[in-house]
Amino acid sequence: MDIDRVVVFDTTLRDGEQSPGASLGIEEKLQIARQLARLNVDVIEAGFPVSSPAQFEAVRLIAQQVRGPVIAGLARAVKLDIDRCWEAVRYAPRPRIHTFIATSDIHLKYKLRMSRQEVLDRAVEAVKLARGYTEDVEFSAEDAGRTDPGYLCQVVEAVIDAGATTVNIPDTVGYMIPEEFAALIRKLYQSVPNIDQVTLSVHCHNDLGLATANSLAGVKAGARQVECTINGLGERAGNASLEEVVMAINTRQDFMGVSTSVETTEIYRTSQMVSKLTGLEVQANKAIVGANAFAHEAGIHQDGVLKEKSTYEIMTPQSIGLERSRLVLGRHSGRHGFKARLEEMGYRLSDEMLEKTYQRFLLLADKKKEVFDEDLVAIDRLVKLPINLREYSIRAVTSGAEAMGEVTVKIDDDGAIVIGRAASTDIIEASAKAYINVINKLVARRKAAGGAGKSK
């Protein structure tokens, strides 16, 4: 049986770049576009050429230099936009013009001040104009989710007649519920007579946290293009996240019955690059690419994963380009996870030693929440060094995207205070380093004291 392929349309550089707080330079956009090509997305929406000279330049350079995916540019349904868009994307071996106009009554009345007939005529005109330049023309009915379904069907039929090859149904304001959105897609398939001539696309926003769910519901109902962004960036609460949509399709192919061409092992790298270049951090518990997405802390979970990964992992970290899952050593970890991590690091301890070290580790974990590899190396010393933590404090040194945090750890050593300090953009890293720092000082101090004692 042939499995249908879903076209992955990445709009990180257009909708994603509209994220509040994200702004990318031309070089950065090129870098991301090249990585998106390695990720093997089908379409890169490179920008909105008419909106500024820098946007135009970025789209033009991407069209000239990035090979593999279709390169699309966005254009309102007006001649100037479509002309500028074409001037920018024309250098791509496979260029696409993506033109749009709003179709919901609320947008017609307050934003466009146009009648339904006027909007329909304008849409048809824009598609025809774009088709004069290229055979690959996408039309979006902006705010389709809140558009009268009967009217939406009319518009879709008319733009297909005018030559659109992809028709996109955006839930622009993230208002839809999955079942409702699927019903809308099904209605289009049932009511628009020429619908089989185009690829139907979905573009969902995450205002209610439903962007991925709505996109998948759309695919289930027959849509064969999904518009999405890396890390779910985008206007307001963002777009459907590419990594979520793609990994859901991959992991649940049994249910979804479709596939994508995305090279999933490039997902993690792409996510990190986009996070770094936009300055928008990925939340730790973000699905697929968050720091905790493949981390297990609970002892029962760690024990299960060590025995058989599938007990608590529905996909492998390797499938998104991570080396391995992370067994986070914290106070919920059991002896199994603790021993496994020590062995991974090359330490083999006797049962008695292991038990002693484990008890020490629990004390440390209580204070520190998460324990790092370096701590485990220090742990050997800790066994012999009773420590008395007096103070643990975090101070922001600078603010903004590159904020530095400084961590201070104070230890009471027989009445003398030993201080460890470290700064990093990553507060957790700073904590670990400050901790190691203070322990090293403590060891040095006691060695010196011991030496002095002997000389007496």
Residues 49-108 that bind Zn ion (CB under 5 A): none
CA-to-CA distance for 252 and 279, rounded, in angstroms?
A: 32
15 interacts with Zn ion by CB under 5 A: yes
Shortest Å distance, C-beta 274 to Zn ion:
17
Name which of 235 and 297 has its Cβ closer to Zn ion.
235
* Of 253, 229, 212, nearest in space to 39 by CA: 229
Shortest Å distance, C-beta 171 to Zn ion:
9
Among the residue ranges 10-18, 30-38, 113-121, 209-217, the one whose residues contact Zn ion (CB under 5 A): 10-18
Among the residue ranges 9-17, 179-187, 211-219, 300-308, the one whose residues contact Zn ion (CB under 5 A): 9-17
Shortest Å distance, C-beta 205 to Zn ion:
6
Query: Counting Cβ atoms within 10 Å, is residue 58 exposed (0-12), middle (13-18) or buried (19+)?
Result: buried
* Of 192, 195, 215, nearest in space to 203 by CA: 215
Query: Counting Cβ atoms within 10 Å, is residue 346 exposed (0-12), middle (13-18) or buried (19+)?
Result: exposed
> Residue type for 294, please?
F
Among the residue ranges 7-15, 113-121, 364-372, 408-416, the one whose residues contact Zn ion (CB under 5 A): 7-15
Among the residue ranges 14-22, 189-197, 349-357, 368-376, the one whose residues contact Zn ion (CB under 5 A): 14-22
Q: What count of residues does the chain have?
A: 456
Residues 201-240 that bind Zn ion (CB under 5 A): none
Q: Which residue's CB comes closest to Zn ion?
A: 15
Name which of 211 and 430 has its Cβ closer to Zn ion.
211
Among the residue ranges 8-16, 271-279, 359-367, 382-390, the one whose residues contact Zn ion (CB under 5 A): 8-16
Shortest Å distance, C-beta 217 to Zn ion:
17
- Contact 85/58 with Cβ under 8 angstroms? no
Shortest Å distance, C-beta 239 to Zn ion:
6
* Of 130, 399, 126, 67, nearest in space to 141 by CA: 126
Shortest Å distance, C-beta 47 to Zn ion:
13
Shortest Å distance, C-beta 24 to Zn ion:
17
* Positive or negative torsion for Cα 114, 223, 6, 23: positive
Query: What separation in angstroms does the CA of 428 have from each of 133, 358, 373, 419, 434?
Result: 53, 22, 13, 18, 10
Shortest Å distance, C-beta 72 to Zn ion:
13
Name which of 15 and 136 has its Cβ closer to Zn ion.
15
Name which of 100 and 435 has its Cβ closer to Zn ion.
100
Name which of 15 and 297 has its Cβ closer to Zn ion.
15
CA-to-CA distance for 59 and 353, rounded, in angstroms?
A: 61
Name which of 15 and 28 has its Cβ closer to Zn ion.
15
Residues 412-431 that bind Zn ion (CB under 5 A): none
Question: At 141, is the secondary structure helix, strand, or coil?
Answer: strand
266 interacts with Zn ion by CB under 5 A: no
Shortest Å distance, C-beta 38 to Zn ion:
24
- Contact 304/311 with Cβ under 8 angstroms? yes
Name which of 241 and 302 has its Cβ closer to Zn ion.
241
CA-to-CA distance for 383 and 378, rounded, in angstroms?
A: 9
Shortest Å distance, C-beta 370 to Zn ion:
36
* Of 226, 296, 214, nearest in space to 260 by CA: 226
CA-to-CA distance for 307 and 336, rounded, in angstroms?
A: 10
CA-to-CA distance for 415 and 201, rounded, in angstroms?
A: 69
Question: At 37, is the secondary structure helix, strand, or coil?
Answer: helix
Angle, to 10 degrees, between the axis of helix 211-220 and the axis of helix 242-251?
Answer: 50
Among the residue ranges 13-21, 55-63, 141-149, 273-281, the one whose residues contact Zn ion (CB under 5 A): 13-21
Name which of 232 and 420 has its Cβ closer to Zn ion.
232
Shortest Å distance, C-beta 140 to Zn ion:
9
> Residue type for 345, please?
M
Name which of 145 and 178 has its Cβ closer to Zn ion.
145
Among the residue ranges 12-20, 216-224, 349-357, 426-434, the one whose residues contact Zn ion (CB under 5 A): 12-20
Among the residue ranges 15-23, 145-153, 383-391, 443-451, the one whose residues contact Zn ion (CB under 5 A): 15-23
Question: At 173, is the secondary structure helix, strand, or coil?
Answer: coil
Shortest Å distance, C-beta 234 to Zn ion:
6
157 interacts with Zn ion by CB under 5 A: no
DSSP 156: H
| 26: phi then psi, degrees, rounded to nearest 5 | -60, -45
> Residue type for 5, please?
R
Site size toward Zn ion (CB under 5 A) is: 1
Name which of 15 and 266 has its Cβ closer to Zn ion.
15
Angle, to 10 degrees, between the axis of helix 178-191 and the axis of helix 211-220?
Answer: 30
Chain positions contacting Zn ion, by CB under 5 A: 15
